Chains A and B, each alone.
Chain A
Amino acid sequence: MNRTISRNVSIISLSVLLAATIPVMHLNAQEKMTADEILEILTETMNPEQSHGIMTMTIVTSSGQERTFKYETFSKDKGDKSLMEYLEPQRVKGQTILMLNDANDIWTYFPRTKRVRKLATHAKKQKVEGSDFSYEDMGASDAFIEEYNARRLDNEKKEGRSCFKLELTRKAESNASYSRVMLWVDEENFIPLVVDYYHEDDPELREKQLVCHDVQLIEDIYTPMNCTMYNKLDNTYTKMEIIDITYSVELSDDLFTEMGMQR
C-alpha cells in the first residue's frame, strides 16, 4: 500500500523532474514525438530519485462513508524502496509499511505487538487499503512500456490543459490488470492528468479513472498535489493529497530495513 503512496508521490512529482530535464529542443519537437517517446518520458517522470513527504489518503465508499489516513512517506532509488508510517488515525499511529523490489516484497510493523510481518509477495493487483488504487495503477516502474502497445491519438484538452492523448493496449503475452489504458499527458510537464483504466476482460468497460490536478512547482519539480482515483464500477473514489514534500533529501539505506521500520 505504501508503494502506491510512493507511486503517487512519483506521479505527482516525477513528471516534474522530467520537465526539468527535458531539453528545449525536445519540447519544440513535441508534435513529432511518437507514443513510445512520450511514454518513455512519462515513465521516467514516474520515478523520482528520492522523496520525503506527508500525505493523506481519503477513501469514500459508495454510501458516502469516509476513512482518512495520514502518512509520512520516504522513497529512494526512483521508488524501488519506500517506507510509510501512519500518523493518523490514532489506532494505527506508528504502524509502518516497507516495500522493496518494485512492491514485490512488502512488510508491515505493528508497534503494539512489536512484530514485523511479511505481507503478500504478489499484491500488485490487489486493492491498497480498501482504496480504489492498486499497486499497478500508478504506472509503477516501466509497466506501461513493458505490458502495453502504445498509440498516439490527436491531442486533446483535459483539465484545461493541452494534452498528448495515448492509447495503450495490453500486449498478447501480458498479464496486466487492464485490457486498455487511455492517458492524457500534459504537453508542458509530461504529467498524466487523466488516466482511464479499462476492465481486464472488456476493453470498452471503463473501470477506473485517475485525475490529477493542482500542479505545483516544488524544488524545480512539477508536482500534482491532488490525485483522485474514481472507481466507475462500484462508485467509490480515493483522494490522495500531498501535504508536504521535498525531493532534496538524503535517505539512508538503513531506513528501508526491518530495523528502519521500528525506528
Chain B
Amino acid sequence: MRERFLRNWARIAATYPWRVITVVLIITVLAALSASRIRMDMRWSDMLPANDPKAKEFDEIITEYKSASSFLVVVRGEEEQIKQFADAITPEIKELTQFFSRVDYKLDKDFLSNHALMLAETEDLKTFADMFENLDLIPLLTSINDNFEEEYVGDEEALSTKEKENEAVRTLDGFHSWLKAMDTFIVNPDVANSTLADSAVERFLYGDPYFISQDKRVLLMNLKANFTAMDIDKDIASTDSVQAILDRRLPDFPNVKAGIAGMIPLQKDEMEHMTKDMQFSSILAIVLVMLLFMLTFRIWSTPILAGLNLMISIVIAAGVLGLILGRLNLMTSMFAVILIGLGIDYAIHIISVYGERRVIDKDAVSAMQETLVRSGSGIVTGALTTAAAFFALAISVTQGIKEMGIVLGIGIICAMVTTVVLLPAILVAREKVLSRITKKPIKRPYVEFKFLADIGRSIAAHPMIFLIVAIVLTAVLFYQAINIRFDYNMLNLEPKGLQTVELQDTIIEAFDLSPDFAMLTTGSIEESYEISEKLKEMPLVSMVENITDYIPPKEKQEKRMPEVERIRKIVSRNTERTAITQTNLNQLIEQLERLDMNVYELSQLAFIGGQDKVDTKAKSIIGDPEKKDSESFILNLVEKIEQDPQKAIAQLNRFQGYYWPVLRSRIYQMANPDLISLEDLPEHVRNQYVNEKGDKYLVTIYPKEQVWNYESLTRFDKQMESVSPKITGTPPIFLHLIRLIGRDGLLATVLTVIIVILLLWVDFRSLRFALLGVIPLITGGIWMLGIMKTFGIMLTMLNVMAIPMIVGIGIDDGVHVLHRYMYEGLRKTPVVLRSTGKAVMLTSLTTMAGFGSLMTASYRGWAGFGALLVTGVGACFITTILFIPSIIGLFTKGKINDE
C-alpha cells in the first residue's frame, strides 16, 4: 500500500509540479503566520516540570512582584564622583516612566525618620535611651563609649551574623563621619557650617545614605521595573534606554565606569545572543550542507532547491509547533539548526536515486515513480524511527527534555513529509525549466568514494584485527568516558564577556552578596519574621530582605513601644546645653582616647574572628596596627585639640551649637511610638513585599558568594531546604533542574534505546540483526564521551540533553548498512561500504555540518551542545564502519564478493 501511494504521489508531483509547489507555498505562508505566534521562554524555570512547586512559586513571584525582576546599575570609581554620577543620571532614568517606577540608590529616610526606633531591638532601645540622655558633645561621647563597650566589645555575639557585622560597619562609619566633622570644625573653621553638622547627624543616625560598598568605590543603583522580566520587549527596550543614558553621561565623568546587571538585562542579553546565534547558525548550516552537497554530487542548482525544500519544511514545522506548543524554550530554540542537519538526509536520498533513475528511465514521471518507490519507503521508515525515538523523550518530567522530544519529533516528520511531497515537484519543475532554456539533455556526473570500498576489502580480509583495534579503542575511550566531568557553572553557558555576568563578580566582591537571589512567599508578617531569622543564621546567606524590615511583628512592636516612648520623653526633657570649657576639655580628650581604645579592641576582636569588613573599617579610624607609619585619626584629633585648646573649644562649641537642635529633633521624630501598619508603608515598599491581594509576603535571600559551582550551589540549596522546601529562585531552580535532567536524561536514553531495538527487531525480523544494529550506537556513545574528555570538553546542563538525541540520530548509520547487507548478502562488504557507506558518510557529514554550525554560537551552552552532537554523529559513523563489517566478517566464511 505504501508503495502504491508513493508511486501515485510521484506521478502527481511529476505531472503537476507547479500546482504542487503552489499549494505547498500557500501552506508555508499559513504556517509562517502560525509560527509568528511562537514566544521564546528562555528562563531556566521554563525547563522544569509544569507543576513543579519550585517553578510555580518562581512564576507566581515573578508575576506578582515586579520588584523580583532585578535591574541594577553598577557604578565604579572614586567616592565623590560615583555619587555625583548617580545623582546626575537618576533624573533621566526617572523620566523612563514607561519602564521604571523608582530608582533606589539612597536610603529611604522619609520612612526611617518617622519610625526608625520602632524597628530597633528592645535591648538596643534601652541602650539608646542612655545614649540620648544628654546630647552635649562630652556626655554623648561618654555614652557612645559606654554603649560601644557593651555592644561590641562586651558581647561577642554582636558580631556573630553577617547582618550584625554590616551594622557594626555602618555604626563605625557614622562615628567616623562625626569625628571628621569635629576635625573640620577645628582645622578648617571657614568651611565648617551647619550643613556639615547636619550631614554628620545624618551619617551618625543612618550611616552613609548611598548604597555604596565599604571601600566607597562601588555604588549600586536598583531600578524598580514596572514590568516583569517575562516581558521580553520591555526587557530589551528598557535596557537599551538605560544603556543610552549611561553612554551619554559617562563622557562627563571620565574616571567613572558604569554598567548594567540583573535579571532583566540578562534576559535581554540572552535573547539577543540566542537570536543572533540562531540566525547565523542556520545560515551557516545551510551553506555548509550545500557545499558538501555540491562537492559530493558535483551539481550546483539542485542543492539550492533542496535547501529551499528544507527551509520550507522548517517553516511548516514551526507553524505546527505554533499551533501545538506555542513556545520555544532554551533547549528547543535551536530546533531549526538541528532539522537542517537531519532533514537534508532525506533530500540526499531522493536526489541521489532520481539522478540514477533519470538516466535509466525514459521520462521524468517514470524516474520519479521509481525514485520514490526505492528511496521513499526507507525515508519514511527512517524518519518514523527517529521521530519515535524523539517522541519517547516526551515521557520526561523535565519540560525542557519533553518539549525537545516533541519539537524534534514533529520537526522530523514535517521534514520527511515536505521532502516526499515537495522535492519531487521541485526536481521535475527545475528539469522542465532547464530543458526549455538549454534544449539539451542534462549530464549527471558520478562521484565514487573508492577508499570506502578499499576499507571494506581490508575489513573483510582481516575482520579479527579490525575488531580487536575497535575494541581496544573503545576500551581506552571508555576509561576516558567514565572520567568525564560535569560543569555545573551556569555562567559558563552564557556568552563570554557578557557585561551583565561580569558585573556579578564586582557586586559580590564589593557588597559581599550575590545578585542571584533565592525567594519565597509567606502567609503572614510573623511567618516572614520567623523564616528570615532562621535564614540569617545560615552561613552562606549575606542578606535577607523581608517585610519585617519595615513592619516588625506586632508582638515585637508592642514590646518596643514603651521604650520608644521613654526615649521620646528623654529627648523632650533634653533642653539645657553645657558648653565645652577649659575645665571640661580634659574630659573630652579622655573620652576621645577611650573611643580610640574601644575601636582598637573591636578591631582586634574582629581580626581574630575573621570579620574583615569591621576590621578594615576600624583600621581606617584608628590606624593599622601592623603598619608602623599608620596613624590613628582619633589620636590625631586629640593632638590638634591639645595644640590650640582655645580654638578647639570655640569651634567645638560652634559644632555643638549646630548639631544639637538637629540631632534632638531627628531623634524625637524617630521615636514615634505608634504601631507601624501596612498603611504606613510607602507604596513602593508595599509593592516590593506584599502582593496585590495583600495575602502574601515576599522574602528575598541573597547568597554571600558566587553560587554557580556545584559545591556552593548544593551547600546553599541545602541551607535553604533546611529552612523551607518552598524556597525558589534561579540557584535552587538550576540545581533542581540538574537533578531532574540527570534522572530524565538516563531514563530517556534507556527508553529510546529500547524503542530503537524493538523497531529494528520488527524491521529486520531478526533480534540478532537488531542487536548488531545497536552495537555501533552504544560504542559510538562511549567514543563520543571519551573523545570529549580527551579534548577537555565537559558535560553541561545543555549538552547532556543531546545524549538521548544521539540515540535517535546515531542508529541510522547502522540501519542503512545492515539493510544493504540484507539486500546484497553478508559477503559483500566492499560493495556495501562503497555504496551505502558513501551515503551514510555523506548524511553523517551533512548532519555534522548542521550541528557543527552551532559550535560558532556565542552562547557557550549551544556551542557545547553542537560539539557533543558533532562528536557523537562522527563517532557513530566510524563505529558503524568498524564494528558491523568486522563482526559480520568474523562470522562469515567464504570468498569476498567484490561485485
A residues near B (Cβ < 8 Å) are: 1, 59, 61-63, 67, 69, 90-92, 95, 106, 108, 110, 112-113, 115, 117-120, 122-123, 126-127, 129-130, 199, 201-202, 205, 231, 233-236
In the complex, what residues of A have CB within 8 A of residue B610's CB? 59, 61, 67, 129-130
Q: Which of A61, A115, A235 contacts B597 (CB 8 A)?
A: A115
Q: Are B604 and A110 in contact (CB under 8 A)?
A: yes
Q: Which of B154, B540, B722 contacts A199 (CB 8 A)?
A: B722
In the complex, what residues of B have CB within 8 A of residue A123's CB? 156-157
In the complex, what residues of B have CB within 8 A of residue A59's CB? 610
In the complex, what residues of B have CB within 8 A of residue A129's CB? 608-610
Cα–Cα, bound, A213→B189 (Å): 66
Cα–Cα, bound, A113→B632 (Å): 14
Q: A62-B712, A67-B610, A119-B156 are in contact. Are A233 and B719 (CB under 8 A)?
A: yes
Instruction: Sample 30 A-B pairs with CB under 8 A, ordered by A number.
Output: A1-B608, A63-B705, A69-B608, A91-B604, A91-B607, A91-B626, A92-B607, A95-B604, A95-B608, A110-B604, A112-B600, A113-B597, A113-B600, A115-B597, A117-B153, A118-B154, A119-B154, A123-B156, A126-B157, A127-B160, A127-B609, A129-B610, A130-B610, A130-B611, A205-B722, A233-B539, A233-B715, A234-B539, A234-B540, A236-B539
Q: Are A235 and B600 in contact (CB under 8 A)?
A: no
In the complex, what residues of B have CB within 8 A of residue A67's CB? 610
**Interface: B743 (CB within 8 A):** no
In the complex, what residues of A have CB within 8 A of residue B89's CB? none
In the complex, what residues of B have CB within 8 A of residue A113's CB? 597, 600-601
In the complex, what residues of A have CB within 8 A of residue B609's CB? 127, 129-130
In the complex, what residues of B have CB within 8 A of residue A233's CB? 538-540, 715, 718-719
In the complex, what residues of A have CB within 8 A of residue B534's CB? 201
Cα–Cα, bound, A32→B96 (Å): 79
Closest chain B residue, CB of each to CB of A132: B539
Q: Are B715 and A234 in contact (CB under 8 A)?
A: yes
Cα–Cα, bound, A112→B376 (Å): 93
Cα–Cα, bound, A62→B539 (Å): 11
In the complex, what residues of B have CB within 8 A of residue A69's CB? 608
Q: Are A235 and B157 in contact (CB under 8 A)?
A: no
Closest chain A residue, CB of each to CB of B609: A130
In the complex, what residues of B have CB within 8 A of residue A112's CB? 600, 625
**Interface: B711 (CB within 8 A):** yes
What 0/1 pattern do residues 259 to 281 of B give for CB contact below 8 A with A?
A: 00000000000000000000000
Q: Are B157 and A130 in contact (CB under 8 A)?
A: no
What 0/1 pattern do residues 588 to 611 of B give for CB contact below 8 A with A?
A: 000000000100110011011111
Q: Which of A62, A90, A117 contacts B149 (CB 8 A)?
A: A117
Closest chain A residue, CB of each to CB of B541: A234
Extra 19 A-B pairs, beta carbons < 8 Å, given A110-B604, A126-B160: A1-B608, A59-B610, A67-B610, A91-B604, A92-B607, A108-B605, A110-B601, A119-B153, A120-B154, A120-B155, A120-B156, A123-B157, A126-B157, A129-B610, A201-B534, A205-B722, A231-B539, A233-B540, A234-B539
Q: Are A90 and B626 in contact (CB under 8 A)?
A: yes
Q: Are A117 and B155 in contact (CB under 8 A)?
A: no
Cα–Cα, bound, A76→B597 (Å): 32
Q: Which of B540, B608, B705 contacts A92 (CB 8 A)?
A: B608
Q: Are B601 and A117 in contact (CB under 8 A)?
A: yes
Q: How far is the CB of A108 from chain B (nearest CB, A)?
A: 8
Cα–Cα, bound, A117→B157 (Å): 15
Closest chain A residue, CB of each to CB of B603: A91
Q: Are A122 and B157 in contact (CB under 8 A)?
A: yes
Q: Which of A61, A90, A119, A199 contacts B155 (CB 8 A)?
A: A119
Closest chain B residue, CB of each to CB of A1: B608
What 0/1 pattern do residues 612 to 651 of B give for CB contact below 8 A with A?
A: 0000000000000110000000000000000000000000
Q: Are A91 and B625 in contact (CB under 8 A)?
A: yes
Cα–Cα, bound, A50→B739 (Å): 52
Tell me if B's interface is mostly helix, strand, loop or mixed: helix
In the complex, what residues of A have CB within 8 A of residue B149's CB? 117
Q: How far is the CB of A258 from chain B (nearest CB, A)?
A: 15
Q: How far is the CB of A41 from chain B (nearest CB, A)?
A: 33
In the complex, what residues of A have CB within 8 A of residue B719's CB? 233
Q: How far is the CB of B532 from chain A (nearest CB, A)?
A: 15
What 0/1 pattern do residues 707 to 729 of B give for CB contact below 8 A with A?
A: 00001100100110010000000
In the complex, what residues of B have CB within 8 A of residue A92's CB? 604, 607-608
Cα–Cα, bound, A131→B711 (Å): 20
Cα–Cα, bound, A202→B724 (Å): 11
What 0/1 pattern do residues 94 to 122 of B give for CB contact below 8 A with A?
A: 00000000000000000000000000000
Cα–Cα, bound, A203→B160 (Å): 24
Cα–Cα, bound, A59→B608 (Å): 10
Cα–Cα, bound, A115→B711 (Å): 44
Q: How far is the CB of B628 from chain A (nearest CB, A)?
A: 12
Q: How far is the CB of A109 from chain B (nearest CB, A)?
A: 10
Q: How far is the CB of A98 from chain B (nearest CB, A)?
A: 14
Cα–Cα, bound, A236→B540 (Å): 11
Q: How far is the CB of B794 from chain A (nearest CB, A)?
A: 21
Closest chain B residue, CB of each to CB of A67: B610
Closest chain A residue, CB of each to CB of B597: A113
Cα–Cα, bound, A95→B540 (Å): 30
Cα–Cα, bound, A236→B712 (Å): 11
Q: Are A115 and B601 in contact (CB under 8 A)?
A: yes
In the complex, what residues of B have CB within 8 A of residue A235's CB? 711-712, 715
Cα–Cα, bound, A127→B611 (Å): 12
In the complex, what residues of B have CB within 8 A of residue A201's CB? 534, 722
Cα–Cα, bound, A198→B355 (Å): 74
Cα–Cα, bound, A91→B722 (Å): 39
Instruction: Give residues 476-505 of B contacting A (CB, 8 Å).
Output: none
In the complex, what residues of B have CB within 8 A of residue A106's CB? 156
Q: How far is the CB of A142 from chain B (nearest CB, A)?
A: 24
In the complex, what residues of A have CB within 8 A of residue B154's CB? 117-120
In the complex, what residues of A have CB within 8 A of residue B538's CB? 233
What 0/1 pattern do residues 165 to 201 of B give for CB contact below 8 A with A?
A: 0000000000000000000000000000000000000
In the complex, what residues of B have CB within 8 A of residue A126's CB? 156-157, 160
Q: Are B715 and A110 in contact (CB under 8 A)?
A: no
Cα–Cα, bound, A67→B160 (Å): 18
Q: How far is the CB of B332 from chain A (nearest CB, A)?
A: 36
Cα–Cα, bound, A95→B609 (Å): 14
In the complex, what residues of B have CB within 8 A of residue A122's CB? 157
Closest chain A residue, CB of each to CB of B610: A130
Which A-B residue pairs are the 3 nearest by beta carbons?
A: A130-B610, A234-B539, A130-B609
Q: How far is the CB of B489 from chain A (nearest CB, A)?
A: 15
Cα–Cα, bound, A126→B156 (Å): 8
Q: How far is the CB of B316 from chain A (nearest CB, A)?
A: 52
Q: Which of A95, A122, A130, A236 has the most CB of B within 10 A?
A: A130
Q: Are B718 and A205 in contact (CB under 8 A)?
A: yes
Q: How far is the CB of A77 from chain B (nearest CB, A)?
A: 24
Cα–Cα, bound, A233→B718 (Å): 8
Cα–Cα, bound, A130→B155 (Å): 14
Cα–Cα, bound, A205→B625 (Å): 41
Cα–Cα, bound, A106→B608 (Å): 15
Cα–Cα, bound, A61→B512 (Å): 14
In the complex, what residues of A have CB within 8 A of residue B604's CB? 91-92, 95, 110
In the complex, what residues of B have CB within 8 A of residue A234's CB? 539-540, 715
Q: Which of A63, A110, A127, A236 contacts B600 (CB 8 A)?
A: A110
In the complex, what residues of B have CB within 8 A of residue A63's CB? 705
Q: How far is the CB of B694 from chain A (nearest CB, A)?
A: 30
Closest chain B residue, CB of each to CB of A231: B539
In the complex, what residues of A have CB within 8 A of residue B607's CB? 91-92
Cα–Cα, bound, A185→B605 (Å): 35
In the complex, what residues of A have CB within 8 A of residue B711's CB? 235
Closest chain A residue, CB of each to CB of B711: A235
Cα–Cα, bound, A67→B157 (Å): 21
Cα–Cα, bound, A127→B165 (Å): 14
Q: How far is the CB of B712 from chain A (nearest CB, A)?
A: 7
Closest chain A residue, CB of each to CB of B605: A108
Q: How far is the CB of A2 from chain B (nearest CB, A)?
A: 11
Cα–Cα, bound, A118→B149 (Å): 10
